[in-house]
Amino acid sequence: MGYNINTLFDIAFGIKSVGVFKIDQPQSNDGALPHFSGIKESTNFNITPDILTTTDIKEANRMSYLGTPIVFPMSFKGKSYQVYSKIGEIELRKLADFELPAATLVNFSRAKLISKTKALASNGTVKELYGFDDWRIDIRGLCLIDPSHATAKTALEMEAKLREFEAVVDNISVTGALFAAKGIDSIVIEKLSITQLKGKPGVIPFYMQCTSDQPIELFI
């Protein structure tokens, strides 16, 4: 069974990209690492030089078990979160840290909240007040086999972890450079979609629609 991440993202989400590795074998029976097609030797990583630049290599946080650099890992922070019990009551459930699958893309967008007043006998509007809406965060990814993952080694285990956090009725603490750069410490998962790809066992595409959240504590 072979994976081509570029093709999988195109089929699952319609996202086309270039310079993505093809995995011919997830893992051999003797435990050896997979073989990569068309990848030349480099001084630091087993990569094709025209796929990743020197800047990309310097920004790599760590290496995946496939020998490819992970540039911006993202995680849901484990702690006690509010969830619904079987009888519909709020209870606390302890969840472990969960790093999102390596094959994950995140898009951020944020709108301004502007109060406008139409100007009489003139053109345009008067902008009176500026505010900022929550960050809209769209997370798309592929659950794949990853023996190096701390808490989920298979696609099904990764899906189960995603569903655990989706069941949280609370804001979720997040870590990662992409979140930190935008001042995002926690998010709320508003929607989780899990789909299937025909003829691609062991591959589970997922999509999460989230918004940023800033906890506010009131003292009375």
Is 192 in a helix, a strand, or coil? Answer: strand
Neighbours of 200 (CB within 10 A): 17
| pTM given for the model | 0.72
Question: 171 with 188: CB under 8 angstroms?
Answer: yes
Is 53 in a helix, a strand, or coil? Answer: coil
Of 142, 99, 134, 147, which Cα lies nearest the Cα of 211? 134
Domain boundaries of the chain, sorted by first residue: 1-71, 72-220
Q: Encode the chain (220 residues) as per-residue pLDDT tens digits.
A: 456 777 777 777 776 665 544 444 455 455 554 544 444 433 333 333 334 444 444 555 666 666 666 778 899 999 999 999 999 999 999 999 999 998 888 999 999 998 888 887 778 888 888 889 999 999 999 898 888 888 899 999 999 999 999 999 999 999 999 999 999 999 999 999 999 888 778 889 999 999 999 876 666 6
60-95 per-residue burial string, b: 16 or more CB within 10 A, e: under 16? beeebebebbbbebbebeeeebebeeeeeeeeeeeb
Fold of the domain spanning 72-220: Elongation Factor Tu (Ef-tu); domain 3 (2.40.30)
Please compute, for residue 34, the number of CA atoms within 13 A of its CA located in the half-sphere on the CB side: 24
- Tokens 């068309």 locate to 38
Q: What angle do CA 205, 74, 11 make, to 5 degrees?
A: 20
